[in-house]
Amino acid sequence: MEKITLAHGSGGTLMHGLIDSTMIRKLDNPILRQKKDSAILRIGKARIAFTTDSYVVSPIFFPGGDIGSLAVHGTVNDLSVCGARPLFLSLGLIIEEGLDKNILDKVIRSAGEAAGRAGVDIVTGDTKVVERGACDKIFINTSGVGDVYYEKLSVSEIRPGDVIIASGTIGEHARAILSQREGIEFGSGIKTDSAPLNKLIRKVFSASDKVRFMRDPTRGGVATTLNEITASRPFGICLEERAIPVSNGVRQACELLGFDPLYLACEGRFLMVVGRKDAAGVLNVIRGDSCGKKAAIIGEVTKEHKGRVYLNTAAGGKRLVDMLSGEQLPRIC
């Protein structure tokens, strides 16, 4: 009998297989089948986005953030990359018996401050306490609702010649978690990239109506996210290794531990596909925001390698970039 493993929560092939074989198969409906970061719903004349996510990150405090701010940022960003303006969040807590009340106060205060920065309200929630050992300190579930204002986002809109933009350096969140968890220093300035992206994304949509698709590369990182885009599609994606923004600290961590930065999670970055003519202007808009100073064009959509992602390496070769299969770093969010 098949058992659930940590790898089933990695964001990679095992998780996608689990979702397809269990969740989609047993709960199937047209909206769920789209597998978007947020469900796009029509209620009367209004179009809203609805999303939910659970956070089990370990440790719950890490450089530049904690589970409270991460939960808010993650849900805000899932709404934003679907072309929605985040409005309201819920906050559900599962607390382990014996947790220090001061820790809970700090987490909730952080969540409130993050919501304030993003311009959203936490309007409902739930609290459960479980026996000691039944969870690890605190788990959080957040759901979010937003109104859809940019309706053109769809994988079906992507065309060969379109450009791939990353909004900043990749893998910073994973490096911060790993540094705190293992007590290893990877250069100076270790800090999660976790941040609310709704205001930056709104600027992007104001600057161009040729944004085809957008997603935040969380579990599974850039490689897995781009493979989700190309899966069974009549186009491929070619990345340029030299163009991908990777900090020295992330590069050092990857070289030391054998990780690939393309598979490391981000919590304050987005990937977007945009028409080539608008790419330079959109890139300038992103770089003008504090969350996007290191943004870069990292590749393009091609007619070749349909359904695949390839990388032109710095050494002059070419390699297939497949979807993450196992688990590089569990409990990252």
The predicted-structure confidence for 223-262, as pLDDT tens digits, reads as follows: 999 999 999 899 999 999 999 999 999 998 898 888 999 9
Check if the beta carbon of residue 68 is closer than 8 Å to that of residue 111: yes
Distance CA 27, CA 105 (A): 37
Instruction: Give mean pLDDT, residues 117-142.
Output: 98
Q: Give dist(CA 123, CA 233) in Å, integer.
A: 40
In sequence order, the β-bridge partners of residue 165 are 272, 297
326 pLDDT exceeds 80? no
Q: What total of structural domains would you count in the chain?
A: 2
pLDDT digits (tens, 9 = 90+) for 264-299: 999 999 999 999 999 999 999 999 999 999 999 999
Residue 73 lies in a domain: yes
Copy the structure tokens of residue 288: 């003008």
- What's the pLDDT tens digit per position in 78-88? 999 999 999 99
Domain boundary among 130, 148, 166: 148
Shared domain for 130 and 161, answered yes or no, is no
Give the domain CATH number at 112: 3.30.1330.10
pLDDT for res 10 = 72
End-of-domain residue from the set 125, 148, 171: 148
Residue recorded with tokens 């490689």: 223
Task: Answer yes or no: are the C-beta atoms of 63 and 177 closer than 8 Å.
Answer: no
Pairing of strands 309-312, 236-240: parallel
Whether residue 143 lies inside any domain: the answer is yes
Q: Which domain holds residue 189?
A: 155-320
Is pTM beyond 0.85? Reply is: yes
CATH classification at residue 252: 3.90.650.10
Tell me the mean pLDDT in the region 294-308: 96
User: pLDDT for 30-41, tens place per residue?
Assistant: 999 988 889 999
b/e 215-241 (16+ beta carbons within 10 angstroms → b)? bbbbbbbbbbbbbbbbeeeebbbbbbb
Q: Which residue has the higher pLDDT, 327 or 175?
A: 175
pLDDT in tens, 179-198: 898 887 776 678 999 999 99
Interatomic CA distance for residues 205 and 80, integer angstroms: 11
Beta-carbon contacts of residue 87 (< 8 Å; ≥ 6 apart): 120, 121, 144, 145, 146, 147
Of the residues 102, 121, 148, which one is the last residue of a structural domain?
148
Assess whether 191 and 313 both reside in one domain: yes
Assess whether pLDDT exceeds 90 at residue 263. Answer: yes
State the amino acid at position 240 in one-letter form.
E
Query: Is 124 contained in some domain?
Result: yes
In angstroms, rounded to a whole number, what is the distance separating the alpha carbons of residues 225 and 290? Answer: 23
- Which segment of 22-26, 60-64, 293-297 scores lowest on mean pLDDT? 22-26
Q: pLDDT exceeding 90 applies to what percent of the chain?
A: 81
